[in-house]
Amino acid sequence: MMESVFLGLSVGSILLLIALGLSITYGAMGIINMAHGELLMIGAYCAVLTRIHLGFSMYFAIPVAFLVAAGVGFMIEYFVVRKLYSRLMDTLLATWGIAIILQQLIRLEFGLTFLGIHIDGLGPGLQNSGMPVGLQGSFHLLGANIPIFRTFVIVVSIATFCVTWVIIYKTSLGTQLRAVTRNPKMAAACGINVKRINTLAFSYGAGIAGVAGVLLSGFESVKPDMGSSFVIDGFLVVVTGGVNSLLGTLFSAGILGEVRALLAILWNDVLAQAAVFAGVIIIILVRPQGLFFTRSR
């Protein structure tokens, strides 16, 4: 039983990292970023490429993936999303197109395949990021064998959540972001650079997705379309927990991760996914604001 619970926590931890970025871009900024899954994919490929070409372990790949994904997120916000604020459907379609472009860039190795140039670690095939020796194996806890890597995933996810909470609620940047979320015009009138805050928030959310990609590469093979399904799971977590609630994102990620893992053990992955979707639909119908929605003035 303990092993099943731990499995659910590790699944929930990945969902938490994916949903944290979406909670910022969708919950705080009102942007539906359909390219969020591809930012996760970029993080996973950073783990692969840094291992092959630089000899980096997963520990060092995490900050690299954060910076690279944040940089890509910066460009997406600066050149595309910034021009589409308050146009929800246009933003959705634009970021969906960006997601397709990013996938094809990885498949075609940034177009170098047309010149007969191959980059190890890219292309349409499956890749493996490799796991550090220190994260292999398991340890005993209450009579159960607990994988070390899953423990590492949980620790990194909780640490990232804590850092995000501190940034949003205990720093000047977070105060400005919350002001922009409530009323961007009033925030601008008070001297806040709304465009700068939005760019930083979008980039930070993208960076978190990159970290999620590195951790996810330890569970499954890395491929160009690996992020497509996870962006849907991330939106489920955000909607279930409450769009503007970080704590709601934390608890809903844990709940959905546990439910999905336990149902996958009892039945199979497909039925578990279907059951989670059905549960989320019921929650939305009964409580559209989310389970952990808090009223604000």
Burial environment of residue 78 by CB neighbours within 10 A (0 to 12, 13 to 18, 19 or more): middle
- CA pair distance 168, 178, nearest whole angstrom: 8
Per-residue pLDDT of the chain (297 residues; tens, 9 = 90+): 667 777 778 888 888 999 988 888 876 677 888 999 999 999 999 999 999 999 888 999 999 999 999 999 999 999 999 888 878 788 899 999 999 999 999 999 988 888 888 989 898 889 988 888 888 888 877 777 888 898 999 999 999 999 999 999 999 998 998 888 888 888 889 889 989 999 999 999 999 999 999 999 988 889 999 988 888 888 888 888 877 778 888 888 888 888 887 887 777 777 778 888 888 888 888 887 777 765 554
Query: What single DSSP character describes residue 133?
Result: G
Alpha helices in 27-87 (DSSP H): 36-49, 58-79
How many residues can be counted in the chain? 297
- CA pair distance 75, 87, nearest whole angstrom: 19
Task: Report pTM.
Answer: 0.91
Report DSSP letters for 242-269, one per residue: -TT-HHHHHHHHHHHHHHHHHHHHHS-H
Q: Which residues contact 190 (CB under 8 A, 6 or more apart)?
A: 179
